[in-house]
Amino acid sequence: QPAFFIAILAIWTGTCWVDLLESFTSMALWIGLPTCAGGQLTQVEEAEHLAADMVEAENMDSVVLTAASPGVKAMAICLILIPRSIIAILCWWLGARWLLATTCFQDLLLN
């Protein structure tokens, strides 16, 4: 049943692709974040207008990161976002190999 396997692999690839795109979007946001002036590591401001789906409670105090030093940007990208991207790629590769190695449809659906 090659059509079934192609459909399963497409679903798995799409799932992993979404996580990888989120990582790349976060990297672009971190890179595009303005640099702090005056030797500060980060600069935050109170959030006045957040989207309704972001606010869980009416009286929740929120802050938004508006600037970061180059070191903080590099640490966020190198220690969080690049490993997250590598993990997404490895999960896709190992998951695709596991799906292709499955010989029984019942095992594939139950697992």
pLDDT digits (tens, 9 = 90+) for 23-52: 999 999 999 999 887 778 787 777 665 555
108: left (phi over 0), alpha (psi -120 to 50) or beta: alpha
Residue 65 to residue 69: CA distance in whole angstroms: 11
- Count, in order, helices (H) and strands (E) of the chain: 4, 2
pLDDT of residue 47: 63
Q: What is the pTM of this model?
A: 0.75
User: Which carries the bigger pLDDT value, residue 96 or residue 38?
Assistant: 96
E-strand spans in the chain? 42-46, 63-68
Instruction: For the beta carbon of residue 47, count every other beta carbon within 10 angstroms.
Output: 13
